Copies of this chain bind each other. A is one copy, B any other.
Amino acid sequence: MPTEPQADGPPQASLPRWLTDDEQRAWRAYIQLAQLLMRQLDRDLHPFGLSMHDYEILVELSEAPRNRLRMTELADRTAQSRSRLSHQISRMESRGLVVREGCEGDKRGTFTVLTDHGGQVIREVAPHHVASVRRHFIDQLAADGRTALTDACEPVVDRLRKTRDRD
């Protein structure tokens, strides 16, 4: 995705530098991969009636103690806004994948709990999803490319988490 529009006149002096060609190339490669990969993984989950967002929530709950997480914690782990997550959970609840439980004596919020059916779904779908992640991403990277990608991404992730927690 380009970031510089064909604007009339030079950018204002107080405003930032446009990306150089190398930077633009890195940004396009990254953002196009993000878009295409998410869409492909979504398509591969579609026959199972799940989206990537559904899948991610089911995995988080399946790994949590007693298969339950506070909405605030789930929003944090899935990097979603609470309002968007709330709609998502409502849709998943109507399909019997999760239930909401109030937490007595604790004002911090509601728990989302994986149902037996949700647990069964994630166990059935996970092998197919891993195959999809391998086919479209992991197995396409050479070992040194994979290491380089990890080393490049991890510090940026750490910084984004700090930015998010601070704001």
A27–B123 touching, CB < 8 Å: no
Instruction: Give every chain B residue within 8 A of A17 (Cβ-Cβ).
Output: 130, 134
A19–B127 touching, CB < 8 Å: no
Question: How many chain copies does the complex carry?
Answer: 2
Instruction: Give every chain B residue within 8 A of A154 (Cβ-Cβ).
Output: 29
Interchain CA distance A17-B130 in the complex, whole Å: 8
Q: Does A149 contact B (CB under 8 A)?
A: yes
B30–A153 touching, CB < 8 Å: yes
Q: Which B residue's beta carbon lies closest to that of A148?
A: B148
Instruction: Give every chain B residue within 8 A of A25 (Cβ-Cβ).
Output: 150
Instruction: Give every chain B residue within 8 A of A15 (Cβ-Cβ).
Output: 127-128, 131
A145–B134 touching, CB < 8 Å: no
User: Quick one: given A16-B127, A123-B8, A133-B19, are A26 and B141 in contact (CB under 8 Å)?
Assistant: yes
A-B contact pairs, 9 of them (CB 8 A): A5-B123, A8-B123, A17-B134, A27-B133, A27-B137, A36-B160, A140-B159, A141-B152, A146-B152
